[in-house]
Chain A
Amino acid sequence: MGWIGNGVHTGLPLALCLLVNQTCAQAPEPAAGPFYLTLHVAGGTGLVALGGGYRLARQRLEPELLVGYVPRRLSGSKPLAIFTLKTTYLPWSPRLGQSRWQATPVTLGAMINYTTGQQFFLTNNSAGNYRPGYYWWSSAVRLGLLAGTRVNYGGPHQQSTTAYAELSTNDLHLVSRLTNRSLRLVDILTLGGGLKRGF
């Protein structure tokens, strides 16, 4: 998996930059309409998650809502649903030459999600079993940060399709990393990816 990670995050952007050196200075063109649907796989938000969103800020910001599913086979208990609010920022999305391909070498984002199930508590106090401060975190809500890369196919004023991959971490994995030198960065990363279809 380390091989794929390297390919995506160092090799690909470099290659893209070489391809697009003629067009690097241009402002990104709108790739499609503001609405899009998302099919997301893994990344801590379910085996698969479906959702969609609305592009903002000259198509540089993609807020979306995803509903993920974790089957019994993976949860070890009842199937889980994960509701994720996620926003991805696209700082730079050059078109690749004169083609209909557009790349975003680096995407950055943040998310918050809620996992359903009686075993999860929203807050220590709402759980009803504990004195204040017994557990300082919410087991149902996770905060996450992510960085990724993507390619997009489709001209202006038409439907576009985006494929993306991203690495994320969550608040509790990050706390573990920050308090332990023996945990490496890769230990707290989670790989996810998916497709987006604009309309």
Chain B
Amino acid sequence: MVLLLGGCQLVEFSPNQAYVPTQERGLTRQQLTRLQTAPAPDDTIRFVFVGDTQRFYDETEAFVASVNQQPGIDFVLIGGDISDFGLTREFRWVHQRLRLLSVPYLTVIGNHDLVGNGRAVYQEVYGPLNYTFRYQGTQFICLDTNGREYGFNHKVPDVAWLQQQLTDTAGTRQTVVVSHVPPQDEDFDPAVVPAYTAALRGCNRLVFHLGAHIHRFTVGQPYQDGVTYLTTYSLQKKRYHILTVWGQRKYRLQTVTYGLDW
């Protein structure tokens, strides 16, 4: 009875409950299965990158409509802050819109997604907070860098885990690291910045480090060490990036502006 009622959005036992219907659980795994079964003609990867869908449901619908018109997109990457308050229904509202994308979408957890019981909700709806996937020889490492949400306990991001993934080179031609809070930001645990940036510096297959959180586009090498850090727009800005990655660490960045009332 409880399970039956749980499938209906009207029945909610707490706005913070992690429980969602079976088909809305483990979305990262579901989307990766979709991605791996999609035909990929060559080693060129074209993906959309945008951040912060938080409470921008109207904009998310416009975003989906725009992305679905783009040719040759392999997948969409959401740079965290999927929800605004970490509430169950927010994750469901976002997925109800993003599932209409014609390509799979993947996420990384943002600080807003960790508010309240959001950590448990994200784990139920999407899956692990740190995970990797490989597509056409490119390894994507997605990890939780929201150090402030853990009171700067020096354990987030998990640099030991990151190191381990960076050394796992089997079948990997190049690597992309994706997080929500970039290390230049004050919400990144300052004590972990040296080890984090050193780990990235030590990886000669790294194309770039992707982040969101600050709601604007930045690109540069802030540590003057050859590592490129890029941040993207929030969904509210009605802009997103298309990143094309190919060969050995070659990439191209396009910005798409959409929506009539911009």
A70 contact set on B, CB distance < 8 A: 13-14, 16-17
- Once bound together, how far apart are the Cα atoms of A172 and B10, in whole Å? 16
- Once bound together, how far apart are the Cα atoms of A173 and B14, in whole Å? 12
Return the contact of A186 from the options B10, B18, B116 (Cβ within 8 A). B10
Interface pair A190/B11, CB less than 8 Å apart: yes
- Once bound together, how far apart are the Cα atoms of A182 and B119, in whole Å? 26
A129 contact set on B, CB distance < 8 A: 148-149, 151-152
Is B89 an interface residue when CB atoms closer than 8 A count as contact?
yes
Is A42 an interface residue when CB atoms closer than 8 A count as contact?
yes
Return the contact of A190 from the options B10, B117, B120 (Cβ within 8 A). B10
- Place the interface of chain A in its size category: 35 or more
A182 contact set on B, CB distance < 8 A: 57-58, 61, 97
Interface pair A139/B12, CB less than 8 Å apart: no
0/1 per residue, A66-104, Cβ < 8 Å to B? Answer: 001010011111001010000000000000000000000
Is B9 an interface residue when CB atoms closer than 8 A count as contact?
yes
Query: B9, B12, B86: which has the most chain A beta carbons within 10 Å?
Result: B12
0/1 per residue, B225-240, Cβ < 8 Å to A? Answer: 0000000000000000
Interface pair A1/B8, CB less than 8 Å apart: yes
Interface pair A42/B13, CB less than 8 Å apart: yes
Is A147 an interface residue when CB atoms closer than 8 A count as contact?
no
A173 contact set on B, CB distance < 8 A: 15, 87, 89
Known: A180-B58, A182-B57. A187 touches B17 (CB 8 A): no
Interface pair B116/A181, CB less than 8 Å apart: no
Interface pair A47/B57, CB less than 8 Å apart: no
Interface pair B19/A74, CB less than 8 Å apart: yes
- Once bound together, how far apart are the Cα atoms of A68 and B87, in whole Å? 18
Interface pair B13/A47, CB less than 8 Å apart: yes
Is B115 an interface residue when CB atoms closer than 8 A count as contact?
yes
B13 contact set on A, CB distance < 8 A: 42, 44, 46-47, 68, 70, 74
Interface pair A75/B18, CB less than 8 Å apart: yes
0/1 per residue, B83-112, Cβ < 8 Å to A? Answer: 011110110010001000000000000000
B57 contact set on A, CB distance < 8 A: 176, 180, 182-183
Known: A129-B151, A130-B148, A183-B93. A170 touches B61 (CB 8 A): no
- Once bound together, how far apart are the Cα atoms of A37 and B14, in whole Å? 21
Is B5 an interface residue when CB atoms closer than 8 A count as contact?
yes
Interface segment among A9-17, A22-30, A56-64, A112-120: the answer is A112-120
Interface pair A76/B19, CB less than 8 Å apart: yes
B61 contact set on A, CB distance < 8 A: 182
Is A128 an interface residue when CB atoms closer than 8 A count as contact?
yes
Interface pair B12/A44, CB less than 8 Å apart: yes
- 9 A–B pairs (Cβ distance < 8 Å), ordered by A: A42-B12, A45-B14, A75-B18, A77-B119, A117-B117, A119-B119, A139-B85, A167-B10, A180-B58
Residues of chain B having any CB pair with chain A under 8 Å: 2, 5, 8-19, 55-58, 61, 84-87, 89-90, 93, 97, 115-117, 119-121, 123-124, 148-149, 151-152
User: Closest 3 A-B residue pairs measured CB to CB?
Assistant: A76-B18, A76-B120, A139-B116
